Amino acid sequence: MGTNKNEIATRLTIKDILKGIDGISKAMVGMDKVDEETYKKRKNICVTCDKIKMKNGDFKSSKCSMCKCWLRYKIKLNKEKCPLNYW
Ligand code: SF4
């Protein structure tokens, strides 16, 4: 059974949302950023993971169904970890 957007939204807490805003902000300004090799390694793992939710095959719009993070930002941040320890 699939998960719809309303189910995801109701499971997110204010803490999750604030963490997401913090992470996106840091990724956008380049703070706490991983090197290019790590970024590519993480991206390659995520694009082949069955937990990725991607629209029209576009990684920029992809989210992780486990942590609900936008992957384009998450994989750039040094402090971030895959919720399933794949990277
Ligand atoms: S963060 Fe981990 S669980 Fe989520 S899509 Fe990437 S590899 Fe999969």
For residue 68, pLDDT beyond 80? yes
**By alpha-carbon position, which residue is closest to atom 4 of ligand 1?**
64
Angle (nearest 5°) at CA 57 between 71 and 28: 30
pTM above 0.95, yes or no: no
For residue 31, pLDDT beyond 70? yes
**Do residues 46 and 38 touch, judged by C-beta distance below 8 A?**
no
**For the residues 5-21, what does the mean pLDDT come to?**
72
Give the type of residue at 22.
Answer: D
Tell how far the Cα of 68 is from the centroid of ligand 1, in angstroms: 10
Q: How confident is the model at residue 82 (pLDDT cuts 50, 70, 90)?
A: very high
**Consecutive H or E run containing 55:** strand 52-55
CB 78 less than 6 A from any atom of ligand 1: no
pLDDT at 14: 84
- Looking at the DSSP bridge assignments, the partners of residue 53 are 63
The four Cα atoms 5, 60, 32, 69 give a dihedral, to 10 degrees, of 10
**For the residues 73-87, what does the mean pLDDT come to?**
95
Tell how far the Cα of 37 is from the centroid of ligand 1, in angstroms: 17
